[in-house]
Amino acid sequence: MTIELYHTAHSTCSQKVRMCLAEKGMPHPDKDWTANEIDLGNFDHLTPEYLKINPNGVVPAFVHDGVVLIESSAIVEYLDEVFVEPKLTPEDPVERAKMRAWMRYIEEVPTVAVRVPSFANLFAPMRYTDYSDEKFSKHAGRLPLRKRFYQRMTKRGFGADDISYAKEQIRQTCERIDQAILSEGGPWIMGQQFTLADVLVAPLIDRMSDMGYERLWKEDLIAMTAWFDALKKRPSFQATFYPGSRISERYSEHFKTSRELEKIRGY
Ligand SMILES: N[C@@H](CCC(=O)N[C@@H](CS)C(=O)NCC(=O)O)C(=O)O
């Protein structure tokens, strides 16, 4: 059996798959699976070779015995079906449907929201400040899935309005996790069982925490804060967030916390 992962250390979607692999007893890149690191800053994900593997031009891409799978949510569901222990999906069909509702919500709301401060605070200023408008527009045109996202962002990054909406969406996510823990009795989103819902949202909350947005939940969402603390103690979490896998470390020379950015840019 061979497993290969095309991934990027700090990419939240790659982290979702790495955490699932670790839960399934495969925590070590280059020991349990072959790690193909894609340098997003070098646009490795837009090369003709990589686009043959993932035509969407994004990471991750997962290869199991030569079969390529894309889309982090589909990959983790596949992993849970093929590597059966420990089970990360409830047995009961109703509970399973509820977990899948969480998965759709995580893709539609926090996954999209987290991109906004990530690009506004770091990726856009770091990668595109020196681009001419023409070069930036040409670059946006090369992106199979994100042309509109980049055009809306511009090479200067997002503005206050987009940041404010993204923060609202993350706050909503945190409130929903808090309510789920309280109503299901915790310690995880679906109650006693640790599931794919926890796996898929963990890297998004970690990215927000890394950027200094913990104040969105820490002051009043006690159950959600306890959930995140418990998550951080799982061996799979520690395997996923190995040194260099957070943007504050990986890009320390460009990185600014949300508080610093508030002072500089007013949001
Ligand atoms: N829906 C896809 C989204 C993948 C995605 O957006 N990956 C990001 C990194 S987290 C990426 O490759 N971005 C390319 C870029 O920044 O241009 C999935 O879940 O696999």
Ligand 1 atom with the smallest distance to the CA of 8 is 9
Which pLDDT band holds residue 261 (cuts at 50, 70, 90)?
confident
Whether 79 and 21 have beta carbons less than 8 Å apart is answered as: yes
pLDDT attached to residue 262? 86
CATH architecture of 3-82: 3-Layer(aba) Sandwich (3.40)
Average model confidence (pLDDT) across the chain = 96
- Ligand 1, atom 9, lies closest to the CA of 11
Token pair belonging to 200: 């898929």
The secondary structure of residue 215, as a DSSP letter, is: G
Whole-number Å distance between alpha carbons of 44 and 261: 29
Residue type, 146: R
Ligand 1 atom with the smallest distance to the CA of 13 is 10
pLDDT attached to residue 267? 81
Ligand 1 pocket test, pick from 12, 20, 36, 59 with the greatest ligand atom count within 8 Å of Cβ, gives 59
Does the beta carbon of 45 sit less than 6 angstroms from any atom of ligand 1? yes
Residues 6+ apart with CB under 8 A from 114: 12, 166, 170, 204, 207, 208
pLDDT attached to residue 156? 86
CATH 1.20.1050.10 correct for 93-265: yes
Q: Kindly list the domain boundaries of the chain, sorted by start residue.
A: 3-82, 93-265
Does the beta carbon of 54 sit less than 6 angstroms from any atom of ligand 1? no
Measured in angstroms, how far is the CA atom of residue 219 from the centroid of ligand 1?
A: 30
Ligand 1 atom with the smallest distance to the CA of 70 is 20
Whole-number Å distance between alpha carbons of 3 and 10: 20
* pLDDT tens digits along 175-212: 999 999 999 999 999 999 999 999 999 999 999 999 99
Which pLDDT band holds residue 264 (cuts at 50, 70, 90)?
confident
Q: Would the pTM count as exceeding 0.95?
A: yes
* pLDDT tens digits along 145-163: 999 999 999 998 898 999 9
Does the beta carbon of 77 sit less than 6 angstroms from any atom of ligand 1? no
Q: Given 3-state DSSP classes, what are the helix, strand and coil percentages for the chain, each rounded to the nearest 5?
A: 60, 10, 35
